[in-house]
């Protein structure tokens, strides 16, 4: 996909703002919910094979929290650590990179996911930050950039210009 | 005319003369014998004339056909069709044709009535890959929609940044990444 407008073309590789990031996060939340429901259905189906009763819920309260945390960490950690993109970021054409534009190491992606899990409102700082950086970005020296993919041309390349 | 053409014409003429002579001979054979008298020469000439005059239509047609069969190909062979066509003013010819008058004579309803529209439509639809068209158009719509959403989000980013920066008295943001090795 090629950016067709000069605005999109000119912003490739630049730090994204809060609206794009929140929109991507909203999509990720929906995808996460769907994955959670699917996982519940699979587990319930397997359990029904042995008990004969289809019960789509996690009966143990002690398990619910850790499983949800694990799912969120795996989802964001895998997406950011692998290529800096979750499904939400793919949809909005965003990518998480290091401050110099290089790929995020897998471990840092996982830590970033943990930081968002601990303090999600930290993302709001990107509305105020001069560099559109969230609190997590500042701690881990990461950035979220507009990157519509290799076909966009010139995307995700570090630039030395100021908007 | 070439030697070949001349030969063909000569042959045709010979064949025609033969046919005439044959016709005369037949007439003479059919006429009752007359004793020779004075002035018979003139009478023979008159008879030949009458014979020619009374020559059967079939024989004359055959003679004409024989001549035509031999002469016409030779003539046609000699004609330079391209040169002939070059002399024809096609534009003038076409301008003389009244197309509307020709169209008036055509019964379009009857013409259309003869066409098997159902079969035609079926054949046309068979040639179209509807699945591929739908797939392409759907993909195109999805791509365009996604792109529109991204651009709107970009604009909203810029707008929000300007709104926030206004009370902070900032002149834009530093959204470009630092080059490699200079990241803080």
Other CB atoms within a 10 A radius of the CB of residue B158 amount to 18
Please, what is the average pLDDT of chain B?
78
Q: ipTM of this model?
A: 0.82
Q: How confident is the model at residue A30 (pLDDT cuts 50, 70, 90)?
A: very high
A104 touches chain B (CB under 8 A): no
- DSSP states along B161-182: HHHHHHHHT------SPPPTT-
Q: By the 8 A CB rule, do A42 and A48 touch?
A: no
Tell me the C-alpha distance between B62 and B53, whole Å. 16
What pLDDT sits at residue A161?
39
- DSSP states along A26-79: HHHHHHHHHHHHHHHHHHHHHHHHHHS----S---HHHHHHHHHHHHHHHHHHH
Nearest Cα residue in chain B from A20: B153
Does pLDDT of A25 surpass 70? yes
Interface test with chain B among A20, A94, A126, by most B beta carbons within 10 Å? A20
Cα-trace Rg, chain B: 46
Q: How confident is the model at residue A157 (pLDDT cuts 50, 70, 90)?
A: very low
What is the mean pLDDT of the segment spanning B157-182? Answer: 85
Tens digit of pLDDT for each residue in B97-121? 888 888 888 888 888 888 888 888 8
Nearest Cα residue in chain A from B153: A20
Does pLDDT of A83 surpass 90? no
Tens digit of pLDDT for each residue in B81-96? 888 888 888 888 888 8
Q: By the 8 A CB rule, do B153 and A23 touch?
A: yes
Sequence-distant (6+) residues with CB within 8 A of B176 are A13, A14, A15, A158, A159, A160, A161, A162, A163
Task: Check: pTM over 0.90? Answer yes or no.
Answer: no
Interface test with chain A among B166, B175, B179, B180, by most A beta carbons within 10 Å? B175
DSSP 3-state of A15: strand
Tell me the C-alpha distance between A149 and A89, whole Å. 11
Does pLDDT of A80 surpass 60? yes
Nearest to B183 among A11, A98, A130 (CB): A98
What pLDDT sits at residue B122?
87
């Amino acid at each position: 996909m090629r950016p067709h407008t000069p605005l999109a073309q000119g912003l490739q590789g630049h730090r994204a703002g809060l609206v794009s990031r929140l929109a991507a996060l909203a999509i990720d939340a929906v995808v996460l919910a769907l994955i959670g429901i699917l996982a519940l259905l699979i587990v319930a189906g397997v359990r029904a094979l042995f008990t004969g009763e289809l019960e789509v819920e996690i009966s143990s309260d002690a398990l619910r929290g850790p499983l949800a945390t694990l799912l969120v960490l795996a989802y964001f950690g895998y997406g950011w650590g692998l290529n800096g993109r979750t499904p939400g970021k793919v949809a909005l054409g965003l990518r998480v990179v290091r401050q110099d534009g290089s790929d995020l190491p897998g471990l840092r992606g996982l830590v970033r996911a943990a930081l968002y899990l601990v303090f999600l409102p930290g993302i709001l700082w990107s509305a105020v930050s001069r560099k559109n950086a969230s609190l997590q970005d500042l701690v881990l020296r990461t950035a979220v950039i507009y990157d519509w993919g290799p076909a966009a041309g010139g995307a995700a390349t570090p630039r030395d210009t100021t908007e | 005319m070439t030697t070949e053409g001349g030969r063909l014409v000569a042959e045709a003429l010979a064949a025609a003369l033969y046919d005439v002579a044959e016709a005369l001979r037949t007439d003479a054979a059919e006429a009752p014998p007359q004793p020779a008298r004075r002035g018979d020469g003139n009478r023979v000439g008159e008879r030949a004339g009458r014979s020619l005059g009374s020559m059967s239509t079939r024989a004359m047609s055959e003679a004409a056909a024989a001549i035509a069969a031999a002469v016409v190909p030779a003539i046609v062979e000699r004609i330079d069709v391209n040169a002939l066509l070059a002399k024809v003013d096609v534009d003038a010819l076409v301008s003389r044709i009244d197309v509307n008058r020709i169209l008036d004579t055509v019964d379009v309803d009857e013409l259309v009535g003869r066409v098997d529209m159902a079969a035609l439509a079926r054949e046309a639809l068979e040639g179209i890959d509807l699945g591929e068209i739908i797939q392409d158009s759907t993909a195109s719509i999805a791509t365009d929609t996604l792109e529109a959403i991204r651009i709107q989000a970009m604009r909203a980013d810029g707008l929000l940044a300007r709104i926030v920066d206004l009370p902070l008295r900032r002149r834009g943001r530093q959204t470009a990444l630092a080059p490699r090795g200079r990241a803080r």
